[in-house]
């Protein structure tokens, strides 16, 4: 994290060159990381268990969460991500959920922390434009 000051009013600045890729499946993390690299960004691959520690050391421009079979694999990270977003200037990092279902975060009843949903199977044609749109708005 990069505090832009000291004390409770300190704001965090996201590093828009990095994308945190989180999921239980190492194969899915590799596939998603390759797509992130095609966007010219640096992926940081973590399991849900190690992602919280990674987030303590950096604020990426975006986070991609693999929801697993029930979209709940990364639910334990949502409150920490929400706190990061509240501490940043512009609700960063952006969050993409890889889901088994089609829809929007609202239509799927997902956390307000989720900015976009990309339905599986994950392909560069589906995921890359979403990454570029969300990281580009930073």
Check whether 47 has a pLDDT greater than 90: yes
Half-sphere exposure of 53 (CA within 13 A, CB side): 6
> Which residue spans within 55-132 are E strands per DSSP?
60-66, 94-99, 116-119
Check whether 78 has a pLDDT greater than 90: yes
Residue 121: strand, helix, or coil: coil
Mean pLDDT throughout 101-120?
89
| pLDDT band at 108; cut points 50, 70, 90 | confident
Mean pLDDT of the chain: 88
Write the burial class of residue 70 (CB in 10 Å: 0-12 exposed, 13-18 middle, 19+ buried): exposed
What's residue 8's pLDDT? 37
Residue 120: strand, helix, or coil: coil
| pLDDT band at 9; cut points 50, 70, 90 | very low
């Amino acid at each position: 994290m990069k505090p832009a000051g000291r004390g409770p009013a300190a704001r965090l600045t996201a590093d828009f060159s990095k994308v945190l890729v989180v999921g239980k499946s190492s194969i899915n993390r590799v596939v998603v990381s390759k797509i992130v690299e095609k966007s010219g960004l640096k992926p940081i691959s973590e399991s849900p268990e190690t992602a919280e520690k990674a987030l303590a050391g950096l604020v990426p421009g975006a986070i991609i969460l693999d929801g697993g079979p029930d979209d709940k694999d990364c639910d334990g990270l949502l409150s920490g991500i929400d706190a990061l977003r509240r501490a940043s200037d512009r609700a960063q990092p952006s969050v993409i959920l890889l889901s088994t279902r089609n829809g929007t975060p609202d239509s799927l009843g997902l956390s307000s922390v989720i900015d976009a949903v990309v339905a599986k199977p994950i392909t560069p044609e589906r995921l890359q434009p979403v990454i570029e749109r969300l990281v580009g708005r930073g």
